Amino acid sequence: MTTLLLSRPRALSHSLSLRVLPQSGFASRWQSSVPQDDGGTHEAPSHWLDQRFPGLRQWLDRKNRTWWLKGIQARCREYPQLQGQESYVALLVERAYTDLAAKHKHLSIDSRSQTHLQVACLVLATQKVMQPYLRDSREVARILHAHMGDHTSPVLRFLLRSTLFLSRDPYALALRRLKALQLDYGKAFQSQLNLTSDRSAELQIDRCFYADIFNAEDASELLSTCCCSQDKVWFDTLDSRGVTFQQSSWIGHDASKCCRLQIRKAAS
């Protein structure tokens, strides 16, 4: 059923290339290794999509950039001060994206981080271009949240509830999602999956690719539009099946130095 989850709160290409995963072959760590249930590791191959369908991830990324820019033009029609300038604003976003992607290219160290780099730079470029026009940071944030999937989240939650209803072991399903999330992050994040017991697990993220870029651009507020702030949707349907999810800390919030995503199976 996981192969049916074609929507997610991040960009569509990100969804298809990084999160729509077979249930085997999860997880990567900072040192390009896969955590095992016994705490051991072994070397991780490149992402399954790049192995099986060379060039598809790049094609999806290109399509996502195109859709993002078309979406910007559509957003411009909602604001009187931008009507008639839709193509020009989209061009400015595209140029800002190109400059930012070149500036931070050195942070992209594997195939997954190439997609993360695109998402981060599209978000940054949109903020930098739209803010002077709208002069309202909350309205710009609303645009970014919408572009990152707020409108598709209800559909995703419906699909997630369906897979949860069909699962014989909701906790095992939640653990697979947590491992898939770690694989999504790739080498550009420093993370570790801790199986704290047979009823609980925690994904700890000590270095965040998005935080590195946004902090470098003095735009840490954009973390609320990306990454684990959006990924929580993958776990917020679990309570009804006896699995709790908690994000106990978040990089960039309340001076936290890491993100902690925790799942726990309720006592029977």
Instruction: Indicate whether 42 belongs to any domain.
Output: no
Q: What is the value of pTM for the model shown? A: 0.76
Give the residue-averaged pLDDT of 99-126: 94
* Model confidence band, residue 200 (pLDDT cutoffs 50, 70, 90): very high
pLDDT at position 35 is 37
Instruction: Indicate whether 33 belongs to any domain.
Output: no
Tokens of residue 90, six digits: 């989209």
Tokens of residue 130, six digits: 């739209």
Query: How many other β-carbons are positioned within 10 Å of the β-carbon of residue 239?
Result: 11
Give, to the nearest 10 degrees, the angle between helix 153-166 and helix 170-185.
130
pLDDT at position 229 is 65
pLDDT at position 11 is 38
CA distance 209 to 108: 9
* Model confidence band, residue 24 (pLDDT cutoffs 50, 70, 90): very low
Number of domains in the chain: 1
Whether the pLDDT of residue 191 is over 90: the answer is yes
- Please give the residue that has the higher pLDDT: either 28 or 36: 36
Instruction: Indicate whether 214 belongs to any domain.
Output: yes
- Please give the residue that has the higher pLDDT: either 24 or 66: 66
Neighbouring residues of 190: CB distance < 8 A, sequence distance ≥ 6: 30, 205, 206, 207
Instruction: Indicate whether 32 belongs to any domain.
Output: no
- Which of 243, 245, 233 lies closest to 9 in space, CA to CA? 233
Q: Which domain holds residue 82?
A: 2-18+48-265
Instruction: Indicate whether 30 belongs to any domain.
Output: no
Instruction: Indicate whether 43 belongs to any domain.
Output: no
pLDDT at position 201 is 94
pLDDT at position 129 is 97
Whether the pLDDT of residue 163 is over 60: the answer is yes
Whether the pLDDT of residue 159 is over 70: the answer is no
* Model confidence band, residue 242 (pLDDT cutoffs 50, 70, 90): confident
Instruction: Indicate whether 23 belongs to any domain.
Output: no
- Which of 64, 65, 70 lies closest to 89 in space, CA to CA? 70
Amino acid sitting at position 11 = A
Give the residue-averaged pLDDT of 152-161: 59
CA distance 80 to 130: 13
Whether the pLDDT of residue 161 is over 70: the answer is no
Q: b/e string for 103-117 if b means 16 or more Cβ within 10 A?
A: ebeeebebbbbbbbb
Place of tokens 């910007």: 72
pLDDT, one tens digit per residue, over 77-97 is 999 999 999 999 999 999 999
CB 217 within 8 A of CB 211: no
Give the residue-averaged pLDDT of 42-70: 78
Q: b/e string for 28-67 if b means 16 or more Cβ within 10 A?
A: bbbeeebbeeeeeeeebeebebbeeeeeebeebbeebbee
* Model confidence band, residue 50 (pLDDT cutoffs 50, 70, 90): confident
Instruction: Indicate whether 74 belongs to any domain.
Output: yes
* Model confidence band, residue 228 (pLDDT cutoffs 50, 70, 90): low
CA 160-162-168 angle, 5° bins = 100
pLDDT at position 157 is 59
Query: How many other β-carbons are positioned within 10 Å of the β-carbon of residue 73?
Result: 17
Q: What is the C-alpha radius of gyration for the chain, rounded to an integer number of angstroms?
A: 19
